[in-house]
């Protein structure tokens, strides 16, 4: 395996004389054999096989390993935002760093086993002086997003009449072919995203190549025993929504591997932290506290289980990523306007990030009745309640609640600077002491203290121990009609769509 591009042979004769390259090995080793050998070597080493792919070590990755070791073409089947494309692009780490091919060959012919007429004739006439070029592993990866307008010419190739005219050759001559994406991926990996979107006749062309290596271009048969590792991705709902994988092609796909969303909050946070654009140049020091990250991730988990959200569409992992970026940006803008050097995201910033939530939720009928923004707000409240319980289970909050029950109120503007917000929060008896459970104390900066204290209040509101309104902000129990009233109204909200639906049925009947 060559790890650098210096001093590589540039002619066929030099390649044969170079002891680093075994002619017999290069002649007979397919790309699937190459990936298998490199995977075996990697399995004997420490470290992840696919760095950056989080949460699949015990589920998806072992199945990919089995598929590669079995020399299978395979498909990753899963909902949107499950890192399918990222994973298949990581397959290039199983290829050699550099691969020789006949220079000028459109389909990257093996110098020791050329399959195109161009390469065969070049080697015949120039012999050991045949020029050799080299490709990196990344250059050996070809990806195509399947769309209904893709043609056989795009995938396989077409006759080029201009090429025929320039060379004075018959139009049926192999040298007049303009090769498509699949032949150009020869001796590499060819990936098709969203396979069901590909027209049936194009899928037929694919399985013919996979099985027989025969290509017909404009009625002219061309024998091309291509050496390609084929990898596909698909959303299981697309099988019926937009198209399907034809049975003969599906039968020739060796392994069908199911992907999934993160199984734990910790996995989700790790993915979001890796992907979200938080480490940015800014005039202020920007942070998103751990409990805020947990709330954001919990929103996605709750949405995936919510009956008002279409489970067939899924809730992409892009939701917590974009929400985190929006939350951080709102905190950043607030600090910049106030001239502060430190910014910490607050729960209130989550509500300003609603546009990054609502656009990623496909709602069922009941959710459509409530509206996407209402559904998103409910998800945030439920997420805050759950994460609040993780930190404050068994913690006595009576002193804080009593302040509001005795007539106190607090309207904390989301745009308020940290110093002014902290002064208001410190007036609430016992509140600031509770933030110690979040790892925030008197020694923390003002932005962090405000974020932690607001999270405590939001958690009490989420558990219906406080009320909150646009006009008055946080208020006590008496402002909302007594204990348990909030729960009753929640139940009322849940039942209303069902009653509306029942009334419409009765009216129709």
Distances 59 to 56, 83, 237, 268, 272 between C-alpha atoms, Å? 5, 13, 21, 15, 20
Contact assessment for residue 104 and residue 131, using Cβ atoms and an 8 Å cutoff: yes
Q: Tokens for 231, please give them.
A: 């990898």
Between 2 and 100, the more confident residue is 100
Give the pLDDT confidence of 19-67 residue by residue, as tens digits: 777 776 777 789 999 999 999 999 999 889 999 999 999 999 999 999 9
Whether the predicted pLDDT of 499 surpasses 80:
no
Rounded Cα–Cα distance for residues 256 and 69 (Å): 15
The predicted model scores a pTM of 0.84
pLDDT value, residue 117 = 84
**pLDDT tier for residue 506 given thresholds of 50, 70 and 90:** very low
Contacts of 413 (CB under 8 A, 6+ apart): 421
Element (H, E) at 193: strand 188-193
Looking only at the bridges linking them, the beta strands covering 132-136 and 98-102 are antiparallel
- Residue linked to tokens 């054999």: 33
Contacts of 490 (CB under 8 A, 6+ apart): none
Between 508 and 12, the more confident residue is 12
Whether the predicted pLDDT of 338 surpasses 60:
yes
Whether the predicted pLDDT of 199 surpasses 90:
no
Q: How confident is the model over 315-329, as a mean pLDDT?
A: 96
pLDDT value, residue 202 = 84
Residue 430 has φ and ψ, to the nearest 5°, of 80, -5
pLDDT value, residue 484 = 39
Neighbours of 168 (CB within 10 A): 7
- Compute the residue count for the chain: 509
pLDDT value, residue 509 = 39
Give the pLDDT confidence of 403-429 residue by residue, as tens digits: 999 999 999 888 889 999 999 999 999
Whether the predicted pLDDT of 455 surpasses 80:
yes
DSSP 327-387: HHHHHHHHHHHHT-SEEE--HHHHHHTTHHHHTT--B-HHHHHH-HHHHHHHHHHHHHHHH
% residues pLDDT > 90 (the chain): 64
pLDDT value, residue 241 = 46
Whether the predicted pLDDT of 1 surpasses 50:
no
Residue 64 has φ and ψ, to the nearest 5°, of -65, -40
Rounded Cα–Cα distance for residues 153 and 107 (Å): 15
Domains and CATH numbers, the chain: 31-95+137-258 (3.40.50.300), 265-496 (no CATH)
pLDDT value, residue 175 = 63
**pLDDT tier for residue 478 given thresholds of 50, 70 and 90:** low
Whether the predicted pLDDT of 479 surpasses 60:
no
pLDDT value, residue 239 = 46
pLDDT value, residue 486 = 41
**pLDDT tier for residue 160 given thresholds of 50, 70 and 90:** low
% residues pLDDT > 70 (the chain): 84
**pLDDT tier for residue 475 given thresholds of 50, 70 and 90:** very high
**pLDDT tier for residue 500 given thresholds of 50, 70 and 90:** very low
Whether the predicted pLDDT of 250 surpasses 90:
no
Between 159 and 143, the more confident residue is 143
**pLDDT tier for residue 492 given thresholds of 50, 70 and 90:** very low
Q: How confident is the model over 207-224, as a mean pLDDT?
A: 66
Rounded Cα–Cα distance for residues 321 and 123 (Å): 53
pLDDT value, residue 135 = 94
Q: Which of 169-173, 247-251, 309-313, 453-457 has the highest mean pLDDT?
A: 453-457
Q: How confident is the model over 311-337, as a mean pLDDT?
A: 94
Whether the predicted pLDDT of 399 surpasses 70:
yes
Contact assessment for residue 305 and residue 261, using Cβ atoms and an 8 Å cutoff: no
Query: What would you report as the CA-atom Rg of the chain, rounded to the nearest whole angstrom?
Result: 30
Q: How confident is the model over 197-220, as a mean pLDDT?
A: 73
Looking only at the bridges linking them, the beta strands covering 188-193 and 141-145 are parallel
Between 273 and 2, the more confident residue is 273
pLDDT value, residue 28 = 78
Helical segments of 393-484, H only: 398-405, 418-426, 431-434, 446-462
Looking only at the bridges linking them, the beta strands covering 342-344 and 132-136 are unpaired
For the chain, the average pLDDT equals 86
**pLDDT tier for residue 508 given thresholds of 50, 70 and 90:** very low
């Amino acid at each position: 395996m060559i790890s650098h591009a210096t001093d590589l042979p540039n002619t066929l004769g030099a390649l044969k004389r170079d002891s680093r390259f075994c002619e017999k090995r290069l002649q007979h080793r397919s790309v699937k054999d190459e990936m298998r050998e490199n995977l075996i070597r990697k399995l004997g080493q420490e470290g992840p096989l696919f760095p950056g792919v989080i949460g699949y070590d015990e589920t998806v990755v072992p199945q990919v390993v089995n598929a590669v070791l079995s020399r299978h073409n395979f498909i990753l089947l899963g909902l949107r935002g499950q890192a399918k494309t990222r994973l298949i692009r990581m397959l290039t780490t199983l290829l050699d760093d550099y691969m020789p091919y006949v220079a000028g060959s459109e389909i990257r012919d093996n110098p020791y086993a050329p399959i195109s007429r161009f390469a065969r004739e070049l080697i015949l006439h120039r012999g050991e002086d045949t020029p050799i070029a080299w490709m990196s592993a990344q250059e050996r990866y070809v990806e195509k997003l399947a769309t209904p307008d893709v043609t056989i010419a795009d995938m396989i190739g077409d006759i080029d009449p201009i090429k025929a005219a320039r060379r004075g050759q018959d139009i049926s001559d192999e040298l007049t072919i303009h090769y498509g994406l699949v032949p150009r991926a020869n001796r590499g990996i060819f990936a098709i995203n969203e396979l069901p979107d590909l027209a049936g006749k194009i899928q037929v062309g694919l399985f013919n190549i996979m099985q027989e290596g025969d290509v017909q271009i404009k009625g002219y048969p061309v024998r091309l025993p291509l050496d390609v590792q084929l990898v596909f991705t698909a959303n299981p709902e697309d099988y019926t929504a937009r198209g399907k994988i034809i049975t003969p092609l599906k039968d020739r796909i060796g392994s069908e591997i199911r992907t999934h969303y993160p199984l734990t909050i910790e996995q989700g946070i790790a993915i979001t932290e890796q992907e979200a654009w938080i480490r940015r140049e800014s005039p202020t020091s920007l942070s998103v506290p751990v409990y805020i990250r947990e709330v954001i991730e919990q929103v996605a988990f709750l949405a995936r289980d919510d009956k008002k959200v279409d489970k067939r569409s899924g809730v992409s992992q892009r939701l917590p990523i974009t929400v985190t970026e929006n939350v951080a940006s709102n905190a950043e803008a607030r600090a910049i306007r106030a001239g502060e050097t430190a910014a910490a995201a607050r729960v209130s910033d989550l509500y300003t990030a609603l546009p990054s939530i609502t656009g990623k939720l496909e709602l069922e009928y009941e959710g459509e009745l409530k509206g996407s923004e209402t559904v998103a707000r409910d998800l945030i409240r439920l997420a805050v309640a759950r994460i609040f319980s993780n930190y404050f289970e068994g913690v006595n909050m009576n002193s804080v609640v009593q302040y509001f029950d005795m007539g106190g109120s607090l309207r904390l503007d989301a745009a308020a600077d940290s110093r002014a917000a902290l002064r208001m929060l410190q007036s609430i008896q016992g509140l600031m002491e509770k933030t110690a459970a979040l790892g925030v104390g008197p020694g923390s900066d003002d932005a962090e203290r405000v974020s932690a204290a607001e999270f405590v209040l939001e958690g009490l509101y989420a558990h219906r121990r406080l009320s909150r309104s646009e006009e008055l902000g946080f208020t006590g129990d008496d402002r909302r009609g007594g204990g348990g009233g909030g729960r009753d109204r929640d139940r009322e909200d849940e039942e209303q769509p069902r009653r509306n639906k029942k009334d419409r049925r009765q009216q129709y009947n």
